[in-house]
Amino acid sequence: MKQLTCPIASIENYNDDTRRIILDLPEPVEFKAGQYLQMVLPEKKYPFSIASCPHVQDQLELHVRPTAGSADSDRVEALLDSATELTIEVPLGDCFLTAAPKNTLILMAASTGITQMKSIIEFMAPEGFSQPVYLYWGVLSDKDLYMAELCAQWQQRHDNFHVVPVVSEPDTTPEWQGRTGLVGDAVLEDFDDLTNVTVFVSGGPAMVYATLDAFVERGMPEENMSSDIFSYAPRPK
Ligand SMILES: Cc1cc2nc3c(=O)[nH]c(=O)nc-3n(C[C@H](O)[C@H](O)[C@H](O)COP(=O)(O)OP(=O)(O)OC[C@H]3O[C@@H](n4cnc5c(N)ncnc54)[C@H](O)[C@@H]3O)c2cc1C
């Protein structure tokens, strides 16, 4: 892991709240698809998944979404409003992919958890998908699907790639025609048998551990699931 100060090449808004940040790398950084970095602020370090894939050597991409009512998030947002460079520590995390799995891959993301999956998908895409890949993306409202167009492009380009957006508060978006409910439940509706799948999950601890329990009950060997949460926020014994 190294600490670097990186010029901000660009910051653009995906929608009302989520921002896409591109950092120029002053030197090459070795990382694996799915790893994260920490933004170093004077008082604290904040973890953010790397949205770009390791094939891109000269820049890193981040997606940052504010958390309402969080002083930490306010600090990060204020920095992004004015900063011309960011100090980061990179790489971190043991939830990554170094080769395509030999069975069905389920990528399950809540909200900006999609960033980690983007890195993994873009890492695998040049080789194509020899096994089916399912991306389940859970959001509150369809306006949170800020990468919907890119997901549709992946699905168009790759026969074996399927994206399933799932909206948990459809009352806020009455025109939404797609899947509704909790993203983990959507996977369970689609897969009767999870004995031979590889799963990556990105989201908060409650969602990740509820998913682990439900998938194990459906037959998934516990070791087939990876998540940053397992090391970042271990389940109390
Ligand atoms: C490994 C990791 C990666 C993250 N990546 C991003 C990201 O790409 N974009 C972003 O906007 N925020 C991400 N976050 C959340 C981000 O670090 C916080 O939003 C930020 O620190 C401000 O604090 P907070 O009060 O909003 O959230 P906190 O209360 O510090 O964190 C919110 C909770 O949600 C979980 N969480 C939220 N988003 C993610 C995510 N994408 N992946 C894994 N866990 C998540 C965290 O584990 C935490 O328990 C990530 C968090 C972690 C642990």
Q: Which two tokens stand for residue 142?
A: 């369809």
- The pLDDT > 90 percentage for the chain reads 96
pLDDT in tens, 128-180: 999 999 999 999 999 999 999 999 999 999 999 999 999 999 888 889 999 99
CA distance linking residue 200 with residue 117, whole number of Å = 8
CA distance linking residue 85 with residue 10, whole number of Å = 10
Nearest CA to ligand 1 atom 49: 204
Instruction: List the domain boundaries for the chain.
Output: 2-92, 104-232
Nearest CA to ligand 1 atom 33: 204
Nearest CA to ligand 1 atom 31: 204
CA distances from 131 to 95, 125, 175, 186, 196 (A): 20, 12, 33, 20, 12
User: Which residues are within 8 A (CB) of 126 and not within 5 positions of it... i.e. 6 or more apart?
Assistant: 55
CA distances from 222 to 58, 100, 217 (A): 36, 19, 10
Pocket mutation for ligand 1, best pick of 36, 94, 114, 226 (most atoms within 8 Å of C-beta): 36
Q: Which residues line ligand 1 (CB under 6 A)?
A: 36, 46-49, 63-65, 67, 70, 72-73, 76, 112-113, 115, 202-205, 228-229, 232-233
What is the structure's pLDDT at 208? 98
Domain 2-92 is classified in which CATH homologous superfamily? Translation factors (2.40.30.10)
Query: From the alpha carbon of 47, which atom of ligand 1 is closest?
Result: 17
Q: Is the pLDDT reported for residue 237 higher than 80?
A: no
Query: From the alpha carbon of 46, which atom of ligand 1 is closest?
Result: 21
**Distance (Å) from CA 47 to ligand 1 centroid:** 6
pTM comes to: 0.95
- For domain 104-232, the CATH class is alpha beta
- The pLDDT > 70 percentage for the chain reads 100
